[in-house]
A = this chain, B = another copy of it.
Amino acid sequence: MVPTVDGESLLAALDKLARIGAIEGGGCARLALSDEDKAGRDLVVRWMKALGLEVRVDAIGNVVGLRAGREDLPPVMTGSHIDTVRTGGRYDGNYGVLAGLEVIRALNTARITTRRPIAVAFFTNEEGARFQPDMMGSLVYAGGLGLNEAYAAADKDGVSVGDELRRIGYLGAARPGAIRPHAFIELHIEQGPLLDEEKVRIGVVESVQGISWTEYTVTGVSNHAGTTPMRLRRDAGYLAASVNLFARKLAREMGGHQVATVGALSLRPNLINVVPNRAVFTLDLRNTDEQRLREAEARVAAHVAEVAGEERLEVETKVLARFEPVIFDSALVDRVEHHARTLSLDTRRMPSGAGHDAQMMQRLCPAAMIFVPSVAGLSHNVKEHTEPADLIAGAQVLLNLLLDVAEGG
């Protein structure tokens, strides 16, 4: 008899966490290592302890709650993150962590002790909205980024990750990655429109798109907007605009899973009647295929060089993040599909367009992800929404899968 997730408890927990850093429209702003993030962390740690988990905080602020097994084996781990973007929703990341806690609650209620230990984790700064790179905590956990480099990452005001970890009391003693899981499973909302459009309940995630984030700093010459003939302009904003349109065209031409976004842009002096002498902007390129992603990067670079030459601009480029596409463990992916179907839930195999902590954990152990629908695909948006029935169904799939893997050979 498989225990059942307490749906009311899950929804209540999501609601309580969403009140911390709540913003107009129903969303959350808990930027990594901010006061709001600290308050969210404190709440989830209290819940972990109330469920009897042994809580370990590591040196990059990742928090792991451990539930002992019958044997002293590497734990089966689940989890996600609880930081948000500035205009975030209430489910992104939080859902995976709190559903993990509901699995623990269900096991406690049913007085089940699994063969392997079970761990529920939340990782530091998954979003990358305040500090780059994103997925920082899980990347450090998996050995892909050194602690000192991570500590040195600074936000726009020059405040560093190291200082903020100390300030909010989450620079822990544990070595990141000290617990090497037997397997890692992350439950998450899709953050895209496909499951909702196709009315499929469970997404079986086979892979994660590769991510390429570049910041461009363009220097031209500021000049009077009325008196400077077009042929003499050295307009830094023009290059930013040109890359925006080129990236759109490129993504459409390349098709498939290629996406491209200019999300951040600032001009200087930013006045109506002055040709901008400086533009700082970002480009986010993603593809499930590494070769195609490299092709996109190369074509953008060629376009930037061409426009910079024509307009006589200087361009500095800085890679803010670069991750190759990740393929999840096929056996574990099959188990996700199996358990969803056993619960009579429709499934769809798909790549993840967003980056997730699970892709970092795949470096350490077999990993996989479970997606639930996101209404209209709204994500990083206060209106992000998933139906309660889908939230509960996803948590039940997680429970059944964790039990299976924790008992298995």
From residue 359 to 386 of chain A, which have CB atoms closer than 8 A to chain B?
A: 377-381
A206 to B109, CA, bound (A): 89
Report whether B228 and A273 are in contact in the complex, using a CB–CB cutoff of 8 Å: no
Report whether A263 and B225 are in contact in the complex, using a CB–CB cutoff of 8 Å: yes
Let me know if A272 is at the binding interface, CB within 8 A: yes
Let me know if A224 is at the binding interface, CB within 8 A: yes
Report whether B241 and A245 are in contact in the complex, using a CB–CB cutoff of 8 Å: yes
A264 to B86, CA, bound (A): 23
A346 to B267, CA, bound (A): 39
Give how many copies assemble into the complex. Answer: 2
Cβ–Cβ < 8 Å partners of A227 in chain B: 190-193, 352-354, 377, 379
Report whether B237 and A244 are in contact in the complex, using a CB–CB cutoff of 8 Å: yes
Cβ–Cβ < 8 Å partners of A108 in chain B: none
Using known A-B contacts A225-B263, A237-B265, determine if residue A380 contacts B242 with beta carbons closer than 8 Å.
no
- Across the two chains, which residue of chain B brings its CB closest to A86? B269
Report whether B232 and A193 are in contact in the complex, using a CB–CB cutoff of 8 Å: yes
Using known A-B contacts A192-B224, A223-B378, A224-B379, determine if residue A229 contacts B273 with beta carbons closer than 8 Å.
no
Let me know if A226 is at the binding interface, CB within 8 A: yes
Question: Quick one: CB contact mask for A125-155 with B, threshold 8 Å, 1 for yes?
Answer: 0011100101000000000000000000000
Report whether A272 and B282 are in contact in the complex, using a CB–CB cutoff of 8 Å: yes
From residue 213 to 258 of chain A, which have CB atoms closer than 8 A to chain B?
A: 213, 215, 221-230, 232, 235, 237-238, 240-242, 244-245, 248, 251-252
Question: Looking at chain A's contact residues, is the secondary structure mostly helix, strand, loop, or mixed?
Answer: loop
Cβ–Cβ < 8 Å partners of A240 in chain B: 241
Let me know if A291 is at the binding interface, CB within 8 A: no
Max chain B C-beta neighbours (<10 A), residue from A87, A132, A269, A276: A269
Report whether B230 and A85 are in contact in the complex, using a CB–CB cutoff of 8 Å: no
Let me know if A355 is at the binding interface, CB within 8 A: yes
Q: Given contact pairs A226-B286, A237-B262, enumerate 7 new A-B contacts (beta carbons under 8 Å).
A: A128-B273, A192-B224, A192-B228, A225-B263, A226-B355, A228-B259, A261-B275
Give A contacts to B, CB under 8 Å.
Answer: 85-87, 127-129, 132, 134, 190-193, 209, 211, 213, 215, 221-230, 232, 235, 237-238, 240-242, 244-245, 248, 251-252, 259-267, 269-277, 282, 284, 286, 320, 352-355, 377-381
- 22 CB contacts below 8 A, A to B, read A85-B269, A86-B269, A129-B272, A134-B273, A190-B227, A191-B224, A192-B227, A222-B381, A224-B354, A225-B261, A226-B353, A226-B354, A227-B379, A228-B377, A237-B265, A241-B244, A261-B274, A263-B275, A264-B271, A265-B267, A266-B266, A269-B380
